[in-house]
A and B are shown apart, each in its own frame.
Chain A
Amino acid sequence: MKPLLRGEDITIRLSDFHLDHVSLEVEEGDYCCILGETGAGKSVLLESFIGMYPRMKGRIFLKDREITHLPPEKRELGIVYQDYMLFPHLDVYNNIAFGLRKKNLSKEKIKERVHAMSERLGISHLLDRDVQTLSGGEKQRTAISRALVTQPQVLLMDEAFSALDATTREKMRSFIRDLVKELGTTVVHVTHDVDDVWALASKVVVMFDGKVLQSGSPREVFSRPLPGQVANFLGACNVFPATVGAFQEGELTPLLIGKGETALFSADKACPGESVIVSVRPESITLAPHRLNISARNQVPGQIVKTERRGPMVWIHAKTGMGNMKAVLTESALEAMELAPGNEAFFIFKASCLKILSRKDTTRQLIQ
């Protein structure tokens, strides 16, 4: 499939930051999240698509048409900002109708389209309201309506949910997921919130210091983050250097952790004798007070050092023969197992959950 939006070698030099030869492809119907820390260059990249930086180097294509040197009004891209950027001198109706007035439509047609879009976004009762009296969620819906009503080829969203409270943010995620599916809208969404990626993305691009470090489906990127900045940012923990043991074709890959005292198994492939980095996500681990007779091949004994409540979940920190490990459980599961700091526990996970992240050359970077 040909990409709908393509950026080639985009380089932008600003006084205190530069975007460095960034390339990106977004296919029709994709929900692409650009993920990274503050200052990674995500918003600059997004705004380069819309035409904020006319002196940028590189090329941008929409379908097969080069739009690099087109003014923003000719690019057929819509944008929604974190702080909404609703025009404060116009009411909700006129904000949504704003773009339609440049499309040579009759007043009736404009009214019809504004009402249809506002109905779809659940803000039809707010059309007469001053935008400054709206709640954060209502403002965001108005901004999205304004962008979508002109039917842009791609909707660009810059930290669109960051200004919302946690409950509204969750509602907006679910709402946007349904809306873009229904309208078939292609979205490029800049965010630093990993939850946005899990909830919405079909593709994720991870950026650091003005560069794209990794891209792929959320499952690929989260299960095999590049060691170093990407892995750290995505919260990868339980990361260990290992040596691949000998095995037969068709068997699971044996991995010797540390000085070889602990043997684990991974479903990923590697060559015997190779030095690798392995990781298991905390949510893939089950805890038990004793070894279990189940199919999970990896059961690592350890001693619980501390428990840490984060919302409805509890993080378990433990010392094992491989090093420090973390797992995450529900509070009720922890209580049922009667596990507490000082107790012995087994960290149990399947071979398919133990991912080989990289080879030896990046070990030092990862461990740092």
Chain B
Amino acid sequence: MSIPLPVFVAIPLVTAFLLPIFGSFGKKGKAAATLLANLATVGLLVICVGSVGQSRVYEVGRWPIPLGINLVLDGLSSLMLLAVSIVAAAAMLFGVKYMEQYTAKPKYLSLFLLMLAGLVGVTLSGDIFNLFVFLEIASIASYALVGFGCGHEELEASFKYMVLGSIGSLFVLFGIALVYGNTGSLNMAYIAKAIAGTGMNVGLGFALALFIAGFGLKAALVPFHAWLPDAHPSAPAPISAMLSGVLIKVLGIYALARIVFNVFGITTAVGWILVVLGLLSMVVGAFMAIGQWDLKRLLAYSSISQIGYVVLGIGLGGLIIAQAGDRLDPQHLTWASLAILGGLFHLINHAVYKSLLFLTSGSVQMATGTRQLKEMGGLAERMPVTRAACTVASASIVGIPPFSGFWSKLILVIAAVQAGFYWIAAIIVFVSLCTLIMYLKVQRYVFLGELPEKLQQVKESPCSMLVPLVFLACLCVLMGLLLVPSMKDNILAPAVKVLTDGVTYSMSLIN
């Protein structure tokens, strides 16, 4: 059975506007709101899992395609939807108990679902202006959520995030205006056709530069990363998990990949830009993370480093395709597919284990009341489940077989070596070592060592917070199975094909 595409956006959006009503009914209303919000995220997860491997186009209001808004589900969007809905369901369940320490819980739930609606909308929209609208819905909700605690640091981080985020959005909007002026269309496929017909000119080149800067700001790639280490730690833990786990990937990487590959068509210059941005983010993020003593800040810097792997994989694939040009033989295509596969696989892995790490940090913070590594220690016996989940996630992110992170890094290294970029493979392995150091530091200072005097009374978190941790930890172990041929052909391969086909894919949608 195929579900109409607007339903994906409508589930979180409608629920988001229903929830504030419950807020005025006291305690029972609050419980009902929490239940409804959880039902919405689980429902979204179910239909996203159900629609894996499908592809279809929906014309909103029956307007034919170049005129109206259209929603497109294809391999790449269904992969992103899967990541978004898994992380959202886990974070929402985790928030049930965790958000008790804040007031105005229905407002939090409502903003969470609005952000989710924006994320789902971005992955599904088939024209660039609609993409901008959903991007703004998700961004504005996330600005408000970062400042949700209303303390000194939260407000400051939220303001910083909002200023840089708004500038990024305006770059994107300016780029959209330039593209519309040059091609006369807002539909991605029709823009791709127009650009393929006329070739690039100065206006379109400037628009592409604006898109890279704007989406780069949203993805926190290294020259544009200043907001992330403040914003992600300041948000409540479930929101940090959403922000680091999926928001920067959907608003940044997915949108950038879609525009660069399917609309403008990849060129050697753009391929190099992506590779360099990716390498910079990997190295700088890893170095900055090692020096941090605030647990969530360390995780945030590590997100920058990991997002670099994703951009590197996608950029490397694009670079190989662009360098081969018209003489693209099957061998080059295999290398390019492998690099992009590594990037996308790392993306979905990172969504799972980084959200798990942020949730465990929330669990630790709630139990101990601090985020400073030096004030913790010896929690291994007091919080066994949290400790186990954190260890699994750390093993994944470092890349210890058989956990998921190992496979995606292995694929990236193989692709780089095969294509002859030995130095890139060396950097990937080197950054992995840096990652190992930072997560050994986390294990050492949080869970091992002596239990400080103050923390003698620490207890394990309540059950509803542990369920999402265990769920995500199981996924970390099982994700390697996505490489089994039958799973790979259904989930990862269609997403890779969308990117490797590039503009040709967009053309095929019109006909």
Q: Is the pairing of A and B real?
A: no
B contacts, CB < 8 Å to A = none
A contacts, CB < 8 Å to B = none
